[in-house]
Structure 1
Amino acid sequence: MKGQSYKSKFNFLLPAILLIGFISACADSGKSKEPTEEVQVKSKKDPFPLKYTSGIRSILEDSKGNIWFGSHQEGAALFDGDELTYFTLENGLSDNQIRTIYEDDSGTIWFECGNGLSSYDGIRITTNAERDYSSKNEWKLSDNDLWFKGDEGTGFNTREGQPGVYRYNGNKLIYQIFPAELKAGEENYYSVTTPLVKGEDNMIWFGTYGAAIGYNGKDFKIINNESLGLTGDTGALHIRSLFYDSKGNLWIGNNGIGVIKYDGENTINFTKLHHLKKEETKGYSLDRIFSIGEDNAGNIWFGTHQSGVWRFDGESLTNFTKEDGLESNHIWTIYQSKQGELWFGGASPSGVYVFNENSFERKY
């Protein structure tokens, strides 16, 4: 069945579904462990398919052609084209929640976990404990930097002192704090919730619960409730995804108020503009956005919680749900493969899906 289209000028009544209450996207993924020495990897190998149940939270296709999958609560998996190898706390990971996976210039794989940070050199997993806290305010930027959230699931620990991020410059992890003044009750407001994205003019963007923070090596740009004119009555940011498209737009996906689009000068509430708030649709909406991507044709894709996937072609939006082969009702991540294929990592049930012209099918 083809997805149902929605023209941006009109309201449409969508199929009614029972809305499920708010879930904590950053719930504890399991008991974390203290930093340890390197651990020789001896992990379970299984044939296909991927056997996760908690959801696919992150994906990476590395320089060797391997595909890595990070789960919400069950560790990481490596697919070498023939079989799957699973890695968990028992193999040295600092946590079983894998939020983001990166590869550095040396080919080392980095796992940004719910708690802590781990890396894999092809032989061993290391829980990385060494940190430099001596230059928290001395922000720097280079092309080969990797950036990671703080060590805690939310908030910050005593060594970090304030919300911020770790910059890995190829030699060490340096903690740098965000240029923000915390108010009472905002201890988790600047906890990083999304992978880093890179935009124009050398700008990098961090997504936190309550702000999108951009840095270009000299200056910061902060998009928050205050800059958007949001109050408790008009809604508030709860950022779950960031994406920078080929046209220079920053897309900010929220769990509650939908999509904010920033063109470098102005911001608009994209969800409100297209009349896709849940109170307007009474069914599938564009309110709870956990992932955003772009295909080779320039279409923007939005992965939601409980409302399937939406595709925007520049004029209209099309909604794809279980009737279109999309079994997962929570799309954590949208990843573009080296071949240009979009992979949609979902939960409930877990799986990685691809879109084939008119419908979805499971790939992993």
Structure 2
Amino acid sequence: MPIILPFLLVSCKGASSSNDSTSSTKESTFGQITSDFDYKAMLIFQDKQENYWFGGNEKGLYKYDGEKLMRFTKEDGLCSHAIIGIQEDHLGNVYFDTPEGVSKFDGHRFTTLTVIENDSSKHQWKLTSTDLWFRMGWSKKGPYRYDGKHLYYLEFPPPKLAETFYAKHPTPSYSPYGIYSMYKDRNGHLWFGTSSLGLCRFDGSTLQWLYEEHLSLTPEGGEFGIRAIIEDQEGYFWFSNNRYRYKISPTTSNRTTLDYQRENEILPNDKATIYYMSIVEDNNGALWMATYDDGVWCKQHDQLTHYPIKRSKKTPLIFSIYQDKQGKLWLTTHDSGIYCYNGKQFEPFYF
């Protein structure tokens, strides 16, 4: 079974098929000023106005402008508290991806994007620089593409590996296509990390797959899935763990699989492989890998440094690592609040 961290799932109106671009137009009250921050806030995002947004908890969505902390809930028009992604468009609108729908915040109110979901829309794969992509949970067979007007549900073309998976699991309790991560590389190509079928890359015309067992399965036998994707400054790709780095062929072929080469990477002395939930590259080219329960590992050149994270006697369960516009590193956790890097270690952040 894939590791799926629990979120509060709540119903959401307006996610049905329609030609309207939005629904649920309740005016936002701009939330409520609060000092009660939820320790389960697992996502962080800094918008163009340099506001910080924290989501992925049971109490709602938080916005921090450097002075006051505000909380938004469904009472303010938010679709769901179960936020699994935050992003911003070129106009400054902020979007919140949830298993129940996508909420858009335009600075004045929340609206819920309406999904166009039919047989023809499932195959309308396109790629433009202003499109936004969403997951809306882990049970689907593909992503959602938003072109600024409509939110289209798409389906992945099935790889050969899917036949093997369904032969082994005729009635699975989850979708092997479930998207755990999305990433746009330096060429504008879009990558999807799935729960059991590896990676799928869309270059605007072709969808191609890459699968290696160690990327999705841990040595203990658990299905980790593709949790994180990044292309470093040298053009190498990193997927889920640090055992190898990958050079992807720029040539698009008619094959359904990607052409690539892999190179060995350095490993810590006491571990075979580091599996990470999230990864970022800082302004100096160092890679920061956030594990679920083993702190953070930093790779700079040929040196690998471990940063254990402790809160009292407890080891926080890390969900993501994020670099803001000022280059500051942040950690979000499943149970221990927010941390930031002070140049030597990660320390708790208090509002």
- TM-score (normalizing by structure 2): 0.80
SS in 2 for 1:293: strand
Pick from 150, 153, 163 the counterpart of residue 175 of structure 1: 153
SS in 2 for 1:90: helix
Q: Which runs of 5+ in 2 are unaligned?
A: 15-22, 249-259
d(CA) in 2 for partners of 1:338 and 1:91? Answer: 28
| Residue equivalent to 1:27 | 6
SS in 2 for 1:239: coil
| Residue equivalent to 1:11 | none
Deviation, 1:260, is 5.1
d(CA) in 2 for partners of 1:249 and 1:304? Answer: 20
| Residue equivalent to 2:81 | 96
| Residue equivalent to 1:293 | 280
Task: Please show how residues 75-94 of structure 1 align to structure 2 within 5 Å.
Answer: 75-94=60-79
User: 1:328, 1:346 within 8 Å by CA — same for their partners in 2?
Assistant: no
Task: Please show how residues 49-198 of structure 1 align to structure 2 within 5 Å.
Answer: 51-56=37-42, 58-133=43-118, 134-149=120-135, 151=136, 153-156=137-140, 163-181=141-159, 182-183=162-163, 184=166, 185=169, 187-194=174-181, 196-198=182-184
CA deviations over 1:7-27 (Å, ceiling 9, x no partner): xxxxxxxxxxxxxxx994342
CA deviations over 1:36-77 (Å, ceiling 9, x no partner): 622222322124xx7112232x22211122111112443321
Aligned-residue Cα RMSD (Å) equals 3.1
Deviation, 1:30, is 3.1
| Residue equivalent to 2:267 | 274
SS in 2 for 1:136: helix
Code of the residue aligned with 1:137 in structure 2: it is: H
Code of the residue aligned with 2:46 in structure 1: it is: E
Code of the residue aligned with 1:129 in structure 2: it is: T
* 1:246 has 2:207 as partner: no
d(CA) in 2 for partners of 1:227 and 1:109? Answer: 35
d(CA) in 1 for partners of 2:243 and 2:40? Answer: 25
| Residue equivalent to 1:6 | none
d(CA) in 2 for partners of 1:317 and 1:347? Answer: 25
Task: Please show how residues 217-232 of structure 1 align to structure 2 within 5 Å.
Answer: 217-225=204-212
SS in 2 for 1:41: coil
Pick from 289, 292, 295 the counterpart of residue 302 of structure 1: 289
Q: Which runs of 5+ in 1 are unaligned?
A: 1-21, 157-162
CA deviations over 1:118-139 (Å, ceiling 9, x no partner): 1111121112224253332231
Identity of aligned residues (%): 30
d(CA) in 2 for partners of 1:103 and 1:348? Answer: 26
User: 1:148, 1:167 within 8 Å by CA — same for their partners in 2?
Assistant: yes
* 1:45 has 2:45 as partner: no
Deviation, 1:222, is 1.2
Pick from 193, 203, 212 the counterpart of residue 189 of structure 2: 203
Q: Which moved more, 1:75-84 or 1:38-47?
A: 38-47
Code of the residue aligned with 2:124 in structure 1: it is: E
SS in 2 for 1:40: coil
Which fold has the larger relative contact order, with Cα–Cα distance below 8 Å and residues 6 or more apart in sequence? Answer: 1
- TM-score (normalizing by structure 1): 0.77
d(CA) in 2 for partners of 1:332 and 1:360? Answer: 14
User: 1:335, 1:343 within 8 Å by CA — same for their partners in 2?
Assistant: yes
Deviation, 1:248, is 1.4
Deviation, 1:226, is 6.6
d(CA) in 2 for partners of 1:102 and 1:79? Answer: 16
User: 1:73, 1:98 within 8 Å by CA — same for their partners in 2?
Assistant: no
SS in 2 for 1:339: coil
User: 1:31, 1:95 within 8 Å by CA — same for their partners in 2?
Assistant: yes
Pick from 338, 342, 364 the counterpart of residue 325 of structure 2: 338
Code of the residue aligned with 2:346 in structure 1: it is: F
User: 2:40, 2:57 within 8 Å by CA — same for their partners in 1?
Assistant: yes
SS in 2 for 1:329: coil
Deviation, 1:146, is 0.4
CA deviations over 1:97-121 (Å, ceiling 9, x no partner): 2111111122211001133211111
d(CA) in 2 for partners of 1:127 and 1:242? Answer: 28
CA deviations over 1:234-264 (Å, ceiling 9, x no partner): 775522222222221222126xxx6653222
Task: Say if 1:239 and 1:120 are closer, same or farther in 2 by CA, change over 3 A.
Answer: same
User: 1:166, 1:176 within 8 Å by CA — same for their partners in 2?
Assistant: yes
